[in-house]
Amino acid sequence: SCLLQLVYPYDFRLTEKEKTSICYLSFPDSYSGGLGDTQFSFRLRQAGGQRTAHYEDPGEYNREAPLTLQRESAHFFGYVYFRQVKDSSVKRGYFQKSLVLVSRLPYVNLFQSLLQLIAPEYFEKLEPCLEAVCNEIDQWPPPVPGQTLNLPVMGVVIQVRIPSRVDKPGSSPVKQFNQENLLPAPLVLPSVHELDLFRCFQPVLIHIQMLWELMLLGEPLVVMAPSPTVSSEMVLALTSCLAPLRYCCDYRPYFTIHDSEFREYTTRTQAPPNIVVGVTNPFFIKTLQHWPHILRVGELRMSGDLPKQVKVKKPAKLKTLDTKPGIYTSYKTFLHKDKTLIKRLLKGMQRKRPSEVQSALLRRHLLELTQSFIIPLEHYIASLMPLQRAITPWKNPPQIRPFRQEDFMKTLEHAGPQLTCVLKGDWLGLYRRFFRSPNFDGWYRQRHRDMTQKLEALHLEAICEADIVAWMKDKSEVEIVDLVLKLREKLVRARCQHLPVKEETLQRVALYIQTIIASLPEDLQAVLHHH
């Protein structure tokens, strides 16, 4: 039985259901013989809707952070440091303890590095240690996208840059660290969130193409792994491989049979949900064997210089007792395999290149693949925006034209992915499938929202440029009052939604409103001021 011994800070409210889930997710759920320390992560659906703490304004952070690093409002991330040591005073012969950090931010690298510092101390000194650490963390600045933060904890300064939406995809973080006044030298993290992709994907390097397609299409996938560490790293690596496109489906880096969604995922009465779920308990082989794609990975084995690659197998080959590693699926990829990537990675291994170099290679390959796929979509959606000259001050801005899949498909002949990508295959089929996935829906909504805001901003600028006095000459009071109310509403919306408008434009519109009101009879002025 798991016990939640201590929650810090004390005023952090969790429902009973969440506490139970966190307890189960903080321990390996199948017997792991290896004694020692391990780290892994989980993601948990919040019970009962959204709650934000009083000090959190996700709006400001989320507007500037990359779409792949948003602060979540309906999920928690859990970062676990688990320790198992021999202890003869306990009935089962060993003691197990976990320290868990719960956050709404997907900063796996930062938080796992933090736990490496805190957890060993905590297991020795317990509560006073946590109290001291939390007091230090309370003093940390908030994460501002684009800034490099120095975060002091336990005599170490962690230095890390928070990525921003305006960073160029694939550019390596700038080394603008100010070392001079920091003694001892800071612990510099190359990234808040990026995993060592090469290490995570070692057993499936030859199947990267297929896995990228499955993620792009939001297909239901189970990762069966020997430990929560392997399962959570594989799931997080998979969900990150579409960047800068946001993976919009659900994902659980580590999932146990005690989870409240267990029934929902294992039911056979409906199709499996669009989710990637990582499990370690062999029991899942039986309960999830109807899922369309199952990736079974074992402990990493080398054959010569190379990690042993899993094979693609028919789903019927999934044995409930002894399942060999493999990708159990009948999925046929739309695109052909990229042989050059594999050759470059193999060469890197023979030359004993460091893992981060190999990871950078892999990440760039995935980025180029995603960009080749997404650029034609971006071009097409940009063409749906009304022309700037159609935006006139005294009429509502024209609508964004609807997205027509067939029209988009026609653009591919002369401006398709083949311009930027050497991969051959059925790109059209891949787009058609993509249109049915939650990832397309999420991408389209985000773009449509951005474009609507841009239109609003352009309209405000058109109003600014207009000659308001000339317009008012032949207008009735009713029309003028109507304009005042409309302009006010626009101004409020521009401020609330943080539209991409210059401050001076907003001030000019405010001034216009005052000018118009001043030209009206006094009884109307009083009413409008009162409004």
Per-residue pLDDT tens over the stretch 250-294: 999 999 988 888 888 888 888 899 999 999 988 888 888 889 999
The closest alpha carbon to 363, from 239, 207, 192, 243, belongs to: 243
Q: What is the mean pLDDT of residues 474-479?
A: 85
Among 27-41, 117-131, 150-164, 278-292, which stretch is predicted with the lowest mean pLDDT?
27-41
pLDDT, mean over the chain: 87
The closest alpha carbon to 167, from 141, 193, 186, belongs to: 193
Pairing of strands 312-313, 326-328: parallel
Q: Is 308 helix (H, G, I), strand (E, B) or coil?
A: coil
- Give pLDDT, residue 11: 66
Q: How confident is the model at residue 318 (pLDDT cuts 50, 70, 90)?
A: confident
Select the more confidently predicted residue: 193 or 521: 193
Cβ contacts of 362 within 8 Å, gap of 6 or more: 197, 198, 201, 208, 341, 345
Q: Which domains does the chain have, with CATH numbers?
A: 16-137 (no CATH), 196-447 (3.40.50.11500), 467-530 (no CATH)
pTM for this entry: 0.90
Q: How confident is the model at residue 179 (pLDDT cuts 50, 70, 90)?
A: low
438 class by beta-carbon count within 10 Å (0-12 exposed, 13-18 middle, 19+ buried) = middle
Q: What is the mean pLDDT of residues 383-406?
A: 90
